[in-house]
Amino acid sequence: LCGAAGIEAYVVEGLLSGERHYWNIVNVRGTFYHIDLFKAADESEQVVFMSDDDVEKYYAWDREAYPAC
């Protein structure tokens, strides 16, 4: 959907609390953000427009494979 809308986006393969998990990185006005819509559906915590620093406590991913957020 992002590609069709002209939004640069990536599907991130990584870990969430040690379990395999997938989420997105999107470019919004020249800045990249993590967005985890799966978690957004069942939790009240902030899970969209997150920086690398915001997510590194629970998420793990190959930082070299994706843009810095």
pLDDT tens digit string along 1-60?
Answer: 888 989 999 999 999 989 999 999 999 999 999 998 877 656 655 667 899 998 998 899
Can you count the helices (H) and strands (E) in the chain?
Answer: 2, 4
Place of tokens 């986006």: 9
Q: Is residue 62 scored above 60 in pLDDT?
A: yes
Q: What is the pLDDT of residue 41?
A: 58
pTM score of the predicted model: 0.84
Q: What is the pLDDT of residue 2?
A: 85
Q: What is the pLDDT of residue 22?
A: 94
